């Protein structure tokens, strides 16, 4: 097979919530294998992960590759880090069920300003992130 050129379209993985949950559950069970103290795992763990989440994919979609699993974990770690940054900002509220719990026009203006920079938090205005508690246990110092 010829090597990919820069002109070849990249395959974008579409993740459904069940796949994300299976990914986090798997890594939670293997959290002792995190290799470097930052929540990263060895390639072997991502290989096992790709096989573990395969039954959760929708028919007609491609199975997730090892690299896609690794990249998704990186994206989930980013969401977690942004939530932690928000939680640790004086005067801001976060909980796993209600998210940021934005009520009132003043809070809404502050939220809109904050999420102009921290866009990944937008979905969590008044809705928690179901994966937060498991992520907290996986991540170092969680």
pLDDT at 133: 93
7 lies in some domain = no
The number of domains in the chain is: 1
pLDDT at 35: 65
43 lies in some domain = yes
pLDDT at 10: 64
pLDDT at 1: 44
Spans in the chain with pLDDT lower than 50: 1-2
In this prediction the pTM is: 0.86
2 lies in some domain = no
1 lies in some domain = no
96 lies in some domain = yes
Taking alpha carbons only, the member of 83, 92, 93 closest to residue 136 is 83
pLDDT at 140: 76
Residues in the chain, how many? Answer: 142
Range of the domain at 42: 17-138
pLDDT at 4: 52
8 lies in some domain = no
126 lies in some domain = yes
49 lies in some domain = yes
pLDDT at 19: 94
């Amino acid at each position: 097979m010829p090597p990919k050129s820069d002109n070849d379209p990249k395959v974008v993985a579409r993740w459904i919530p069940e796949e994300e949950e299976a990914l986090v559950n798997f890594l939670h069970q293997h959290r002792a294998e995190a290799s470097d103290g930052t929540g990263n795992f060895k390639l072997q763990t991502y290989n096992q992960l790709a096989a573990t989440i395969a039954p959760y994919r929708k028919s007609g979609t491609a199975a997730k590759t090892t690299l896609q699993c690794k990249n998704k974990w990186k994206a989930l770690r980013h969401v977690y880090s942004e939530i932690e940054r928000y939680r640790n900002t004086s005067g801001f509220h976060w909980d796993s069920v209600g998210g940021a719990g934005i009520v009132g026009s003043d809070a809404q203006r502050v939220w809109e300003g904050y999420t102009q920079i921290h866009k990944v938090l937008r979905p969590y205005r008044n809705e928690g992130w179901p994966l937060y508690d498991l992520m907290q246990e996986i991540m170092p110092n969680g």
